[in-house]
Amino acid sequence: MRANEIPTEEIKRAPAAFTDRVTADGRFGRPAEPGRYRLVVSRACPWAHRVVITRRLMGLERVVSLAVTDPRQEIIEGDPHWVFTEETGSPGGRDPVLGIHALREAYLARDPHYTGGVSVPGFVDVDDGHLVSNDFDRLVKDMATEWGALVREGAPDLYPEALRAEIDALSGKIYTDLNNGVYRAGFAPDQEHYDAAVADVFARLDALEEHLSTRRYLVGDSITVADIGLFPTLVRFDAAYHGHFKCNIRKLSEYPVLWAYARDLFQTPGFGDTTNLDHVRTHYYWVHTAINPTRIIAAGPDPRRWLTAHHREELGGGPFGAGTAPGPVPAGERVPDLA
């Protein structure tokens, strides 16, 4: 569905078009090598945000370079596309490493006959310019488990083997009802579909409020990929989904437990320091002209609320388990300071 089209049926998210895996041993044909791959993202996109968080927590910034697209997108041949612009640090509107203006060029380098959608994240092989994967879930799990000695010393175990079944089961419910549920509500073709979608969203938020009332993290005593999958939706909720997508039964900030949990994560290295709320608001309100034809970008809410005390440490556990916090954000990747 194009950004300026009124939906005629419920949004259905297509499976990832390219799913090559990169591992330390290269058993799927693509070995993990320093400098070989570039991660193309939008700071606005929740799916891309998951991968950016994981990359930072695992200390892969020095191994996998980052390219950030413009949150406004550009209409090319009738479709909105993720593009590089001067405003996001790409001289001449081309990524300085890949030499491309639009991410779709990496898709077409991989498959000149490709006619499907173009999404972020895009994991691109710098050597040949081919898109390797746009499978955000697999990218997260492989970055967390498959990069061997290239991860930083003290990197956390984000996908513990003993907890994987529980993580996957809970993450699947969160994805269906909440991560994708907000989109089903926002792009609902009629009242019936909207009512069903928004009911799923808030039923899942209600369940998470109860689940997190006695535990600091979703599964286990430290951050896992389950938390990484939930956070990007929560951090966008009041800024975009509550108003723009009509998910307005309650704000995230009206859930005492979830709001504290989200602030706890935001204040943890890897989460808030990879979040650009200006890009979030700009993208959603500017691009989705079928929902917001005036392209007026909402001013709030005040992002400084994310820095207030949460007291979640009283529940025990620690963010990185037996690991340590990542170091400072690389200078070229810093997001605006909220203070």
Instruction: Dump pLDDT digits (tens) for 284-334.
Output: 999 999 999 999 999 999 999 999 999 999 999 999 999 999 999 999 999
Active site residue 247: no
The pLDDT of residue 3 is above 60: no
Q: Domain 22-150 is classified in which CATH homologous superfamily?
A: Glutaredoxin (3.40.30.10)
- C-alpha closest to that of 70 among 113, 106, 103: 103
Q: What confidence category does residue 1 fall into, taking pLDDT thresholds of 50, 70 and 90?
A: very low
Output phi, psi for 193, to 5 deg. Answer: -70, -40
Digit-coded pLDDT (tens) for 287-301: 999 999 999 999 999
Longest distance between any two alpha carbons in the chain, whole Å: 55
pLDDT at residue number 216: 98
pLDDT at residue number 339: 64
The pLDDT of residue 137 is above 80: yes
Q: Is the pTM of this model over 0.75?
A: yes
pLDDT at residue number 6: 56
Q: What is the mean pLDDT of the chain?
A: 96
Q: Give the domain ranges of the chain.
A: 22-150, 161-333
Which among 45, 107, 247, 261 is annotated as catalytic? 45
Which among 37, 107, 159, 183 is annotated as catalytic? 183
Digit-coded pLDDT (tens) for 51-79: 999 999 999 999 999 999 999 999 998 88
For domain 161-333, give its CATH number from 3.30.360.10, 3.40.1010.20, 3.40.50.970, 1.20.1050.10.
1.20.1050.10
Digit-coded pLDDT (tens) for 155-185: 999 999 999 999 999 999 999 999 999 999 9
Residue 260 · residue 312 · CB < 8 Å: yes
Digit-coded pLDDT (tens) for 29-56: 999 999 999 999 999 999 999 999 999 9
Average the pLDDT over 258-262 and give the result.
98
DSSP label at residue 262: H
pLDDT at residue number 130: 98
82 is in an annotated binding site: yes
Active site residue 183: yes
CB neighbour list of residue 37: distance below 8 Å, 6 or more residues apart = 22, 64, 65, 123, 124, 125, 126, 132
pLDDT at residue number 14: 81
161-333 and 22-150 share a CATH fold:
no
**What is the C-alpha to C-alpha distance for residues 283 and 157, in angstroms, rounded to an integer?**
33
Query: Of how many residues is the chain composed?
Result: 339
Question: Coil, strand or helix: which one is 19?
Answer: strand
